[in-house]
Amino acid sequence: MTETTAVAELSRQAAFSADVAEIMNIRKRGETPLAFVRTYGCQQNVADGEKIKGMLFEMGFSFTENQEEADFILFNTCAIREHAEDRIFGNVGALKHIKARNPSVLIAVCGCMMEQEKIAEKMKKSFPFVSIVFGTHVLHQLPEMLYKTVTESKRVFMRGHEQKEIYEGLPVRRDGKFKAWVTLMYGCDNFCTYCIVPHVRGREKSRKSDDIYREFKELVEAGYKEITLLGQNVNSYGKGLEEEINFAKLLERLDSIDGDYRIRFMTSHPKDATPELYDVIAKSRHIPHYIHLPFQSGNDRVLKAMNRHYNREKYLSLVQYARKVMPDISFTSDVIVGFPGETYEEFKDTLTLIEEVGYTSLFTFIFSSRDGTPAAKMPDPVSYKEKTVWFQELLDLQESISAARCGDMVGKKEMVLVENKVEKTGLLSGRTAGNMIVDFPGEDELIGNFAEVTITEAKNYVLKGKLSD
């Protein structure tokens, strides 16, 4: 599909959008129809959810947090872990009672789960009250799907074939007032043996840098204070584009935009991280000295079985170089405990790596098997109960490291982006450049702005502070 064809397709969808708005206006007798949208999973799903809301807004919908009063209910699903799927089935099943009380309500389920044929088929057979089921590749066709449902009173099922074209210009209704997401790329080429993402999101496709720059600059000019760049592997950004650009050069270009803001990014895959990237961050004006760099395991055999394309030595060399050019840098990471075939001795290599790096915090998971991935077929002799023991050992270690790192911050001044007020304590809460939570007393007008805070107390993952004089 050419760029011209993509523009024509979005124009076609805009016509469906106008028709849906007119039909819903007639059905509601002039009252504004209400949509309930619930997104599960990663930040990319959140960004997709904002596009869904943007399209619904153009179709005349306003939004509600009450399912009972909604005219359209949509669940945007995640397929990363099994318990997430179970929760979705339970939540969708509960909508049966709402449909019984209000037969005119339209129910849709979309996202990564729906790109799995077995799941989509279950949704079709077991949840007949669901009107629309669609996958990640056809998100832009939501207006057409809604039009078919309201005009033909038929269920619509769309699981698209992966397309090379990126649909620029979809409307976005952002959830945040001062924090925003910007998608750099879609899909993933890594095929880690435990991960379903490449199977449901497709292969990597990078957006043109001019389109990213334009969106990013508009957000800065609109006053957004923290803009997070998204991709399953941002470090491989630029692959397949005609222009000669990589992630480091893109960051450099975005950082050149004047303004009072921070740039964050995720996810950064170690196999494609480079000294050039860390050099750019070190000399930047807007990029915090903080990197989320998933290592998953500290053992080389396990890393190979995971198909991660790096080893312990390479990972640690990246950490060492980053610390060389940014002595104040902080790291967070992802860890999988109990990968199929992992022994306790191999797991201990993960513990020693954690001790060596000294992470600020970790996102830790016990291995969750996903149908359709190679890891699901691997022998897994260690019981879940034993894995939970390992898991607790890891948590205890990280808690002690986090407590020490937080303790080192007492007395220091930190620039904090103030995010909200904690209802229970009445304190303001925000995050440092290193992504650590700080609670401190202050006025509500600070929310959405940066404030200099002196750290006065440390409690594991949460810091206490006061506004600096």
> Which structure tokens are listed for 90?
């339970």
Mean pLDDT, residues 63-82: 91
Same domain, 422 and 398: no
Instruction: Give the total number of structural domains in the chain.
Output: 3
Is 170 domain-assigned?
no
Contacts for 265 with CB less than 8 Å, ≥ 6 apart: 228, 229, 230, 231, 234, 247, 251
Same domain, 309 and 234: yes
Which pairs from 406-410 meet CB under 8 Å and 24+ separation?
Answer: 406/436, 406/458, 406/459, 406/460, 406/461, 406/462, 406/463, 407/458, 409/436, 409/455, 409/458, 409/463, 410/455, 410/456, 410/457, 410/458
Is 167 domain-assigned?
no
Task: Look at phi and psi of residue 309 and say left if phi exceeds 0, alpha if psi is from -120 to 50, else beta.
Answer: left
- The band of 258, judged by pLDDT with boundaries at 50, 70 and 90, is very high
Is 173 domain-assigned?
no
Q: Residue 2: what pLDDT? A: 61
Q: Residue 5: what pLDDT? A: 78
Is 319 domain-assigned?
yes
Distance of CA 449 to the CA centre of its chain: 23
How far apart CA 452 and CA 192 sit, in angstroms, is: 41
Is 168 domain-assigned?
no
For residue 161, pLDDT beyond 70: no
Residue ending a domain, among 355, 381, 407, is: 407
Q: Residue 461: what pLDDT? A: 74
Same domain, 385 and 265: yes
Mean pLDDT, residues 95-107: 95
For residue 16, pLDDT beyond 80: yes
Instruction: For residue 74, list its beta bridge partners.
Output: 37, 108
Same domain, 39 and 148: yes
Q: Residue 291: what pLDDT? A: 96
Same domain, 367 and 248: yes
Residue ending a domain, among 407, 437, 458, is: 407
How far apart CA 466 and CA 51 sit, in angstroms, is: 38
CATH of the domain at 437: 2.40.50.140
Residue ending a domain, among 407, 430, 459, is: 407
Q: Residue 96: what pLDDT? A: 94
CATH of the domain at 307: 3.80.30.20
Is 171 domain-assigned?
no
Same domain, 318 and 190: yes
Q: Residue 184: what pLDDT? A: 97
Distances (CA, A) of 211 to 52, 182, 183, 254, 437: 20, 10, 10, 12, 33
Distances (CA, A) of 1 to 12, 188, 236, 416, 440: 15, 20, 23, 45, 52
Same domain, 285 and 333: yes
Domain that holds residue 217: 179-407
Same domain, 119 and 184: no
Q: Residue 459: what pLDDT? A: 80
Is 174 domain-assigned?
no
Q: What is the mean pLDDT of the chain?
A: 94
> Which structure tokens are listed for 328?
């104040």
Same domain, 13 and 153: yes
Is 141 domain-assigned?
yes
Residue 90 DSSP SS3: helix
Same domain, 363 and 422: no
Q: Which DSSP helix (H) or strand (E) runs through 429? A: strand 428-431
- What secondary structure letter does DSSP report for 174? -
Same domain, 254 and 371: yes
For residue 162, pLDDT beyond 70: no
Same domain, 436 and 379: no
CATH of the domain at 80: 3.40.50.12160
For residue 371, pLDDT beyond 90: no
Residue 312, Cβ neighbours under 10 Å: how many?
19
